[in-house]
Amino acid sequence: MAAELCRLASYPAANVTFTTTREVDLEIADSASHVKWQAGQGVRYTSPGRTVSISGGRCIVWTSRWDTRGPDGFLVPPGTYNVSLGIESNSSSFPYVGTSIDVTD
CATH number assigned to the domain comprising residue 52: 2.60.40.2360
Contact 52, 72 (CB under 8 A): no
% of residues, the chain, pLDDT over 90:
61
3-state secondary structure the chain: CEEEEECCCCCCCEEEEECCCCCEEEEEECCCCCEEEECCCCCCCCCCCCEEEECCCCEEEEECCCCCECCCCCECCCEEEEEEEEEEECCCEEEEEEEEEEECC
Q: What angle do CA 10, 16, 18 make, to 5 degrees?
A: 150
- pLDDT at 57 (0 to 100): 97
pLDDT tens across 14-26, in order? 999 998 999 988 9
pTM of the predicted model over 0.95: no
Position 81 pLDDT exceeds 90: yes
Position 56 pLDDT exceeds 80: yes
Band (pLDDT 50/70/90 cuts) for residue 97 is low
Band (pLDDT 50/70/90 cuts) for residue 93 is low
Task: Look at the chain and report how many structural domains it folds into.
Answer: 1
CA distance 100 to 4: 17
- Mean pLDDT across the chain: 90
- pLDDT at 3 (0 to 100): 86
